[in-house]
Amino acid sequence: METINTFQIWYVFFLQLTPVWISLLITFSALFYWRKYLGVLGHLCNSRIGLVGLFIVLFWVFGAIFADMIALFEPFEQSGMYRRKPPGVINSKVGIPYIFGTDTLGRDLFSRMFYGSQTVLLIAPAACVVAYVVGITLGLPSGYFGGRSDTILSFLANLVLAFPVILLFYLLVAPGVRETILPNIMAGVFFLFPIIFALMVVYSRYSERINVLAPSVIFIFLIGAWLYSGLVFNADPLGLVTIDPNELNIFAAVVFASSPGVFRLVRGLTMDIKTRDYVAAAMTRGEGPFFIMIWEILPNARGPLIVDSCLRVGYVTILLGTLGFFGLGMEPESPDWGSMINQTRSYIRLVPTIVLPATLALASFVLGLNLLADGLREESAKD
């Protein structure tokens, strides 16, 4: 077996990642050039920690985007001859090295690392966004109105939060459950929230002006119905929006587990902000409660929410990894990092480096998100 040495491994690594380096360079230059106009992102330039975090996060984002150009092998391409090989072994048939080695089925770890980032980066942020919408839509009224509905919702949120996460996921994502329509029901309920939220936003602001209100509402209904039918029922008339039922299941389960945390955060912030004078001023000019919640309170809660969102994407990433680790996740072939770790962990004693690519990828991505959140928090506190 021909091998390449460590220096050459890293050389190939850097070379393959050229599209990523170029994109990073362009993005950071643009960021520094236009930082005055970019609000919070511009302020981030003053925080070294935040910039490091942003660098790492964007590294993986661009890695996912350019995965086809970066990868040296196909993600599902197996090889009988080159199974569990250490880093640096060259595939003599095609003359390309497995720079990070291969897993037990002979698949290139380096390429799977970057194809895996695609899966992670598609699901984690999207699940976070939906969790946020659910949390905000429930948390704002709960904090604002208080009373019995608040007590009930908080109790339910605490119930979900107190439930052991792994067990929860076994119940929601286990193969037996996947056959039922429970995932579709859950997804159906959760995907209603963005539509409700968008309607609330538009109605509260433009209730006086019918000529703006009517087209907006119709627009929201159309888009909402289209996306909804595509995602939940897999019955998109245009055939553009589809999602694997497996992925839908995981998506719904992740949203279910993340929403209570957001709910609590938003509820606490609402209870604090509603005591301010400008909220009283809004009340005295006759604003309805929904306007106050969405336009007076929510914009002022964005500091902690932005920071939390970064951290939450990290939690969800780890969660997906955990799911993959337990085999509850995607199909066995999937290159997502959790599954990769699961499939390679038995061979640590044979090839110690076999677990490293996916582990380091997962760790670095979550670290990047944490540093980014740190930087954002510091900067938003200064403003």
Partner 1 sequence: MSTPVLEIENLSVSFMTRAAEVPAVMDFSMEVNEGDAMGLVGESGCGKSTVALAIMNYLGGTGKIVGGSIRYRGRDMSTFSENELENIRGSEIAMIYQEPMASLNPAMRISSQLIEVPILHENISKGEAWNRSVEMLQKVNLPDQDRIMNAFPHQLSGGQQQRIVIAMALLSKPSLLLLDEPTTALDVTVEAGIINLIKNLSKEIGTSMLFVSHNLGLILETCNKITVMYSGETVETGEIKQVFRNMRHPYTQGLLRSIPLPGKNKYDAPLKAISGQLPLPHERPNGCNFGPRCPHFNQKSCASNDIEMALVNKKYLHSSRCSRIDQIKWDEKNISSKKSGKKSSKDTLLTINKLSKDYDVAANVVFGGKKKGTIKANVDLNFDAKVGETLAIVGESGCGKSTFAKVLLGLEEASNGKVLFEKKDIGKISVEDRDRKTVSEIQMIFQNPFDTLNPSHSVGGQIIRTLEKVGVGSTVEERKQRMYELLDLVKLPREFDKRMPRQLSGGQKQRIGIARAFAGSPKIVVADEPVSALDVSVQAAVIELLIDIQEKFDTTMLFISHDLSVVRYVADRVVVMYLGKIAEVGTTEEIFSPPYHPYTEALLSAVPIADPDIKKRQILLEGALPSPLNPPKGCVFNTRCPNAIKGKCDSLEPPTQKLENGHTITCHINTKELSKKGNVFAQ
Residues that bind partner 1 (CB under 8 A): 147-148, 151, 208, 276-278, 280-289, 295-296, 299-300, 302, 383
Shortest CB 286 distance to partner 1, Å: 4
Burial per residue of 30-44, b for 16 or more beta-carbon CB atoms within 10 angstroms, e otherwise: ebeeeeeeeeeeebb
Shortest CB 130 distance to partner 1, Å: 24
Shortest CB 290 distance to partner 1, Å: 11
Shortest CB 117 distance to partner 1, Å: 35
Shortest CB 125 distance to partner 1, Å: 24
Shortest CB 39 distance to partner 1, Å: 11
Residue closer to partner 1, measured from CB, 221 or 278: 278
Instruction: Tell me which amino acid residue 144 is.
Output: Y
> In whole angstroms, what is the distance from residue 247 CA to residue 178 CA?
10
Residue closer to partner 1, measured from CB, 154 or 259: 154
Query: Could you please report the per-residue DSSP string of 78-133?
Result: --SSSTTPPTTEEETTTTEEETT-B-TT--BHHHHHHHHHHHHHHHHHHHHHHHHH
> In whole angstroms, what is the distance from residue 101 CA to residue 90 CA?
9
Q: 308 and 265 in contact (C-beta within 8 Å)?
A: yes
Residue closer to partner 1, measured from CB, 7 or 155: 155
Residue closer to partner 1, measured from CB, 80 or 286: 286
Kindly report the number of other CB atoms within 10 A of residue 240's CB atom.
9
Q: 61 and 317 in contact (C-beta within 8 Å)?
A: no
Residue closer to partner 1, measured from CB, 288 or 352: 288
> In whole angstroms, what is the distance from residue 2 CA to residue 92 CA?
8
Of 268, 266, 260, nearest to 294 (Cα)? 266
Residue closer to partner 1, measured from CB, 281 or 348: 281
